[in-house]
Amino acid sequence: MGITFRKETFRDDFTFRNSPEHIRRFPFPFHEDAYMYAVNIEPHVVGPKGSVLENLIDVDEHYVAEMQDRALVLAEDPLRCQSLPHMTLAGWDLLELLMEQQALGYPEHFTLTRDGDRWRWINRPLGIDDTFTFGDTSTLPYGPMEYITRQSQGDFCILDQRDGNLWMDAGMVTTQADWSLDFDIGMNFFEWHAPVPLAHEKGIFTRALKFLTNIQQGKPARRLNWTMTINPRLDTSPENYHKWGPDRTTVTPENVGDKVHLRVELQSFWRLPRSNGIVFPIRCYLIKMDELVTQPKWARRLHRVIRDLPEELATYKGLTRYRPTLVEWLSKLDDGSPTSPGFGPD
Amino acid sequence: MSTGTTKLDVVVSDVVPVNELVTRFHFRRRDGELLPTFSGGAHVVVEMRDGDRTRLNPYSLMGSPLDTREYTISVRRDDVGRGGSLFMHRSVKPGLEMVISYPVNLFSLDLRAKKHLMLAGGIGITPFMAQTAQLAGEGGNFELHYTCRTASLATYADVLRERYDRRIRLYHDDRDERIDLDRLLSTQPLGTHLYVCGPAGMINWVRDRATALGWPSEAVHFEHFAAPQPGLPFDVTLAVSGKTIRVGEQQSLLEAIEAAGVDPPYLCRGGVCGQCETNVISYDGKFIHNDHWLSEEDHRSGCKIMPCVSRFEGRSLVLER
Separation CA A72–CA A81 (nearest Å): 13
pLDDT attached to residue A236: 93
Task: State how far the alpha carbon of A126 is from the alpha carbons of A44, A77, A123, in Å.
Answer: 27, 22, 6
The verdict on A276 touching B (C-beta cutoff 8 Å) is yes
Host H or E run for residue B223:
strand B220-223
Regarding whether B250 and B207 lie in a shared domain, the answer is no
**Residue pairs spanning A and B at CB distance below 8 A:** 58
pLDDT tens profile B72-102: 999 999 988 888 899 999 999 999 999 999 9
Q: How long is chain B?
A: 321
Q: Provide the pLDDT for residue A241.
A: 92
Interface of A with B in 224-243 (CB under 8 A): none
* DSSP track, B156-198: THHHHHHHHGGGEEEEEGGGT----HHHHHHSPPTTEEEEEES
Question: Smallest CA–CA separation between A58 and chain B, in Å?
Answer: 22
- Pair (B16, B101) in one structural domain: yes
Task: Let me know if residue B147 belongs to a domain.
Answer: yes
Contact B5 A273 (CB under 8 A): no
**Mean pLDDT of all residues in A293-317:** 94
- How would you classify the pairing of strands A118-123 and A110-115? antiparallel
User: Confidence class of residue A1 from pLDDT cuts 50, 70 and 90?
Assistant: low
Give the C-alpha separation, A23 to A295, whole Å.
Answer: 9
Give the pLDDT band (50/70/90) at residue A123.
Answer: very high
Residue B282 lies inside a defined structural domain of this protein: yes
Q: CA B266, CA B4: separation in Å to the nearest integer? A: 5
Domain end: B174, B203, B223, which one?
A: B223
Contact list, A276 vs chain B (CB under 8 Å): 39, 41-42, 105, 108-109
Neighbours of B7 (CB within 10 A): 14
H-helix segments, B267-308: 296-301
Instruction: Decide if B275 and A275 are in contact by the 8 Å CB cutoff.
Output: no
Q: How many CB atoms lie within 10 A of CB B137?
A: 13
Q: Are B304 and B279 in contact (CB under 8 A)?
A: yes
Measured between beta carbons, which residues in chain A are less than 8 angstroms from residue B219? none
Question: What distance in Å separates the CA atoms of residue A309 and residue A2, rounded to the nearest whole number?
Answer: 40
Rounded Cα distance between B288 and B233, Å, is 13
Asked if residue A132 lies in contact with residue A142, where contact means CB atoms within 8 angstroms, the answer is no
User: Cα–Cα distance between B124 and A63 in angstroms, integer?
Assistant: 49
Which chain B residue is nearest to residue A97, measuring alpha carbons? Answer: B37
* pLDDT of res. B305: 96
Least confidently predicted of A160-174, A290-304, A308-322:
A308-322
The Cβ of residue A142 has, within 10 Å, a number of other Cβ atoms equal to 14
Pair B239, B263 in one domain? yes
In a domain, B169, yes or no: yes
Task: Give residue A24's Cα distance to chain centre.
Answer: 18
In this structure, is residue B228 part of a structural domain?
A: no
What is the distance in angstroms between the Cα of B107 and the nearest Cα belonging to chain A? 10
pLDDT at B3: 46
Report d(CA B98, CA B108) in Å as an integer: 26
B92 and B132 housed in the same domain: no
- Beta strands (DSSP E) in chain A are 42-43, 81-83, 110-115, 118-123, 128-133, 155-162, 165-172, 221-230, 260-271, 278-288
Which range is least confidently modeled, A18-27, A268-277, B81-90, B142-151?
Answer: B81-90
| Of A150, A145, A192, A143, residue with least CA distance to A167 | A192
Percent of chain B with pLDDT over 90: 80
Of B86, B105, B124, the last residue of a domain is: B105
* Torsion sign (Cα): B247, B252, B258, B264: positive
What 8-state DSSP symbol labels residue A236? B
Q: Residue A202: which pLDDT band, with cuts at 50, 70 and 90?
A: low
Test A161 with B36 for CB contact under 8 angstroms.
Answer: no
Choosing from B223, B247, B262, the residue where a domain stops is B223
What mean pLDDT, rounded, does chain A reach?
94
Full residue range of the structural domain in which residue B13 is found: 7-105
In which order are the strands placed within the sheet that holds A128-133?
A110-115, A118-123, A128-133
By the 8 A CB rule, do A166 and A213 touch?
A: yes
Rg, chain A, Cα only:
20
Q: Examine the domain organization and report whether B119 and B218 are in the same domain.
A: yes
Report the alpha-carbon angle B200-B203-B204, nearest 5.
85
Residues of chain B with pLDDT under 50: 1-3
Distance in angstroms (rounded) separating the CA atoms of residues B177 and B151: 12
Identify the helix (H) or strand (E) that includes residue A302.
Answer: helix A296-308
How many angstroms separate the CA atoms of B173 and B151, rounded? 9
Q: Are A14 and A179 in contact (CB under 8 A)?
A: no
Mean pLDDT of A113-124: 95
Whether residue B229 lies inside any domain: the answer is no
pLDDT value of residue A39: 61
Q: B86 and B125 in one domain?
A: no
- d(CA A208, CA A219) in angstroms, rounded, equals 16
- As a whole number of angstroms, the distance between CA B109 and CA B131 comes to 7
CA distances from A241 to A156, A249, A317, A342 (A): 21, 13, 14, 35
- Give me the sign of the Cα torsion angle A291, A293, A296, A297: positive
Which CATH number does the domain housing residue B33 bear? 2.40.30.10
Cβ contacts (< 8 Å) between B109 and chain A: which residues? 276
Question: What is the pLDDT at residue B1?
Answer: 31
- The number of residues in chain A equals 346
- What is the number of domains present in chain B? 3
Output the CA torsion sign for B311, B79, B45, B249: negative
Q: Are residues B135 and B212 in the same domain?
A: yes
A162, A216, A274 member nearest B110 (Cβ)? A162
Long-range Cβ contacts of A19-24 (<8 Å, 24+ apart): A19/A61, A20/A294, A21/A50, A22/A60, A22/A61, A23/A287, A23/A291, A23/A292, A23/A294, A23/A295, A24/A50, A24/A295, A24/A345
How far apart CA B263 and CA B260 sit, in angstroms, is: 9
Q: Which of A237, A230, A226, A318 is nearest to A26 (CA)?
A: A226
CATH number assigned to the domain comprising residue B157 = 3.40.50.80
**Residue A55 DSSP symbol:** S
pLDDT band at A177 (very low <50, low <70, confident <90, very high): confident
How many CB atoms are closer than 10 A to CB A267? 18
Cβ(B24)–Cβ(B16) below 8 Å: yes
Residues A111, A122: contact at Cβ < 8 Å? yes
Task: Kindly list the domain boundaries of chain A, sorted by start residue.
Answer: 20-331
Q: Quick one: B249 and B193 in the same domain?
A: no
pLDDT tens digits, B214-263 = 999 999 999 876 677 888 999 999 999 999 999 998 889 999 999 999 98
In single-letter form, the type of residue at position A110 comes to F
Q: Residue A208: which pLDDT band, with cuts at 50, 70 and 90?
A: confident
Nearest CA-CA distance, residue B91 and chain A, Å: 29
Reading phi first (left if > 0) and then psi (alpha if -120 to 50, else beta), residue B258 is in alpha
A89/B138 Cβ within 8 A: yes
